Amino acid sequence: MNKLLYIPAFLLLLASFSCTDVVDIDANFEKSELVVDAWLNQLDTTQTVYLSLSQDYFQATAPPAVTDATVILLNDTKGTQIPFTHKGNGAYEWTPQSGEVIGDIGDAFTLSVGYQDWNYEAASLLNPAPPVDSIVYEFREEELGFPAGIYAQFYARDLPGLGNTYWVKTYKNGVFLNKPSEMNVSADGTFDLGSGTDAIVFIPPIRETINRIPDEDTEDDDSVPPYAIGDEIRVEIHAITNSAFRFLGIAREQMTNGENTIFALPVANSPTNVVGLEADAPKALGFFNIAMITAMEVTVE
């Protein structure tokens, strides 16, 4: 028995003294492309479209901002236009005046971007979102690697009709839970389009992903346990298109790719809905979606 145990122990010891070589990987980056980051909504707040240029995957700096573009939002249903004004650092904004709305549920929109000698468009529908019915919380003992503390979940019901997709955003004391593993998207109250479910209460894994997820490599993560007495929890349900659902799902897979290096997927951009109008227009990246938002806030008592 000792001999059998000796072999793997020796191999493990040998591996611990093996050399590590630094390998420079060529990302095959050739030319910067326009990136459109346009996640708009129907709320009576300033709407922002961010424009930038793509850069090498291994470039450790902020992407260059696009400051000389023309951005117009067209309501195709009503035949109206909303111009966006550059406010600096690639942010193009529009602020609704008193009583002004960006559109109504069911309206179709086109985002038009003119950059250099090229014109780009992206389309989206303003879909409805279900109300947040409630946010509940309870104290739980330590289990499965999660420390003891107060954990929350929300309740909402998928709207009738197949193919409804949502992005559930959570804010703790006004801070967006924005880790890739905390990106919470749902189709018909479940994880996947085509599940065949309809008008159900969101499944528990979706409801539970409003808790801060601890970093495995951070021992002093002050965000865990997720909630304490006095914390404010805000849950928003954003209605998104099916293509936006796929975009976010692929983006999440790419951003969490390094968590499992054995089965990691090749790095790739998420599919965009931004297209060039000219036949020879350079490719663009990013996404445009316009959402109805429902929300609820509670204070942990």
Give the per-residue pLDDT at 2: 44
Q: How confident is the model at residue 159 (pLDDT cuts 50, 70, 90)?
A: very high
Lowest mean pLDDT among 56-65, 123-132, 182-191, 203-212: 56-65
260-279: b or e for each residue (b if 16 or more CB lie within 10 Å)? Answer: eeeeeeeeeebebbbebeee
23-29: long-range contacts, CB 8 A cutoff, minimum separation 24: 25/58, 27/56, 27/57, 27/58, 27/267, 29/55, 29/56, 29/57
Q: What is the mean pLDDT of residues 242-254?
A: 94
Whether 6 has a pLDDT exceeding 50, the answer reads: no
Nearest to 84 by CA among 117, 54, 50: 50
Question: What values do phi and psi take at 190, rounded to 5?
Answer: -120, -160
Question: Average pLDDT over the chain, rounded to whole?
Answer: 87
Domains with residue ranges and CATH for the chain? 34-127+269-292 (2.60.40), 132-240 (no CATH)
Residue 257 and residue 265 in contact, taking contact as beta carbons nearer than 8 Å: yes
- Give me the sign of the Cα torsion angle 102, 108, 113, 114: negative
pLDDT digits (tens, 9 = 90+) for 268-297: 778 999 999 999 999 999 999 999 999 999
Give the per-residue pLDDT at 143: 83
Q: What is the mean pLDDT of residues 123-136?
A: 98
Residue 7 CB coordination number (10 Å) = 9
Percent of the chain whose pLDDT exceeds 70:
83
Q: Which residues contact 44 (CB under 8 A, 6 or more apart)?
A: 96, 100, 101
**Three-class secondary structure of residue 53 per DSSP:** strand
The DSSP bridge pattern shows strands 184-187 and 275-276 to be: unpaired
d(CA 236, CA 51): 25
pTM of this prediction exceeds 0.75: yes
| Higher-confidence position of 59 and 80 | 80
Q: Residue 223 corresponds to which tokens in the numbers above?
A: 């965000």
Q: How confident is the model at residue 8 (pLDDT cuts 50, 70, 90)?
A: very low
Name the CA dihedral angle for 136, 211, 190, 199, rounded to a multiple of 10 degrees.
20
Q: Residue 27 corresponds to which tokens in the numbers above?
A: 């990302």
